[in-house]
Chains A and B, each alone.
Chain A
Amino acid sequence: MKLLAQLNFEEIPTLDDMPKQGVLQFFISAEDDVMGINFDNMTTQQNLKIIFHPNVEKDETLLVSDFSYMNKLETEYFPIQHELALSFRLDYEPVSIEDYRNNELLGDTVDLSVFVKVEGDEKELWEVYCDTFLGEGHKIGGYPYFTQSDPREYEERFVDHNILLLQIDSEFDKDIMWGDAGVANFFIKRKDLLNLNFSNVIYNWDCH
């Protein structure tokens, strides 16, 4: 397996329910042509592994530094071509257009099917909402982006996977690509997150 993402929570602004410290690692099978996803069971960790380390060891003499064994891997399918440093900023957003709870959260008084005039063109209001609140980008928390549809909509057992643990979007100029300009998301139950139990996380990616 190969590292997809590593989050050191000491570097990340505090968000309710998220760990305040520790390192969370996401690995996927480096040579898998579907990038570690299991379409039939999105919480299985057969070609995906999520590991949490509550304490961070910074003494590099205690850490493995020889990763030459990884050079043998064929990584043509791997979605991230080279190492990228991360920076974090607290922000706010309303429910995204493709979150399956969109209608429920906005409520019955909101009708996005009405037609409106935008710069002379007639559009349905949901198109304006979609242009504004797509939910795209790399993020922790908030609302997800999908190029297809929310996998939680059709599985009753996913009803409590309400927290977006991590979203990794495609970013062409940084050589991150999920299929054809797709996006990956990881969802966790709040109870599992509070218990630092990362064994029942939904891993989804989709693309155009």
Chain B
Amino acid sequence: MSSRIPKLNLPTELEIYRKQIERTVKPFIKISTSKGQTKIFQSKLGGLHIYLKLWNIQKMLIINQ
């Protein structure tokens, strides 16, 4: 693993396979949620979505299904 990756915390029982387990490590983005309103263009779960007035009627029909 690259030095910028923090050392993986492993239970004692898995230490024998540390090298093999570390080989599979990859980055990801952990997402945390909080209750509250967002702006229309911000990231969110649920709520209201960004939607341009100029978009065509076909897209409107898809969204309104």
Contact = CB atoms under 8 A, between A and B. Distances in A.
Contacts of B20: 106-107, 109-110
A132 to B, nearest CB: 6
A93 B34 CA distance: 23
B41 A3 contact: no
Interface residues of B, number: 47
| Interface range on chain A (Cβ under 8 Å from partner) | 35 or more
B56 interface: no
A29 B63 CA distance: 9
A177 to B, nearest CB: 12
B54 interface: yes
A106 B24 CA distance: 7
A63 B52 CA distance: 4
A198 interface: no
A117 to B, nearest CB: 8
5 contacts: A6-B47, A65-B40, A92-B27, A107-B23, A125-B14
